[in-house]
Structure 1
């Protein structure tokens, strides 16, 4: 395998993993009745619309059909890809949800 082919495989693997991270984020949002685009805009207000996120939204399923995505799993995946700003926004939403549950119960 040539160096160029190896680089292409590495880049391709990273892009597939990145799309999986986006899908985990988008599905977590759906599962928690949150708008992934709104959370993304809050985290990255100076960026244009994320095309990969837009495309990935089509792959999400209703929360009734989705499996559970633990908060820590999502935060770990976001951190792995350097999305600390998005992880901060997600953490804020987790805190809001926990506070609302405490008030109810």
Structure 2
């Protein structure tokens, strides 16, 4: 594998991981009846919504799949990919959800 192929392999693996991160985020939002596009905009109000986020959200809505995602897993994945602002917003939502559950 030459340098160019190795670089492309790394880029491809990163992009695949990023798509998986988006899927986990979108699924977590759907699990908690949150709109992932709204949550993302809270974290990054000055950025356009990523095309991949919109696509994955639509695919998940159409598939109607429901896989439970632990908040701790989502937070860890977001931080690995440097989405600290989004992780902060998700943590705030998670705290509100816990408080809501405790109150009944």
Pick the structure with more helix per residue: 2
2:59 aligns to what SS in structure 1? coil
Contact 2:27 2:67 in 1 (8 A): no
1:69 aligns to what SS in structure 2? coil
- Deviation string 1:6-27 (CA, Å, 9 cap, x unpaired) is 1000100000000000000001
How many residues in Structure 1 have an aligned counterpart in Structure 2? Answer: 102
Gaps of 5+ in 1: none
Q: How large is the Cα RMSD of the aligned pairs?
A: 1.0
With normalisation by structure 2, the TM-score equals: 0.93
With normalisation by structure 1, the TM-score equals: 0.92
Q: In structure 1, how many angstroms separate the alpha carbons of the residues matched to 2:94 and 2:8? A: 37
Contact 2:27 2:68 in 1 (8 A): no
Deviation at 1:58, TM superposition (A): 2.6
Give the equivalent residue in structure 2 for 1:11: 11
Gaps of 5+ in 2: none
Contact 1:79 1:87 in 2 (8 A): yes
